[in-house]
Amino acid sequence: MKKSIVGLKELRENINAYIKEVEKGKSFIVARKSKPVFKISPADEEDGWENIVDFTKIKSGGVKIKDILSRI
């Protein structure tokens, strides 16, 4: 997987383009003032992410958080 360096300002100004690239599997090192600050990479199953509940399947557009919290 190819890694590229991107400036923080560039990332902020074009976040949607970078999100699309990350979804395709690309990783980026984000730099501020020419120093690496953090890495953006695709999340995969090994990272511990899993869907517990997809609230859009319960109601189109999702469910309001206050409705969920009132039932707990």
Q: Would you give per-residue pLDDT tens digits along the chain (72 residues)? A: 456 999 999 999 999 999 999 989 899 999 999 999 999 998 875 666 676 777 777 777 777 888 878 888
27-32 sheet: strands from edge to edge: 3-7, 27-32, 35-40
Task: Give the residue from 35, 33, 38, 46 showing the smallest Cα distance to 18.
Answer: 38
Q: Residue 45 has what pLDDT?
A: 57
Predicted structure pTM score: 0.59
The helix (H) or strand (E) run that includes residue 27 is strand 27-32
The helix (H) or strand (E) run that includes residue 49 is none
DSSP bridge partners of 28: 4, 40
Q: How far apart are CA 40 and CA 55, in angstroms?
A: 27
Structural domains of the chain, with CATH: 1-43 (3.40.1620)
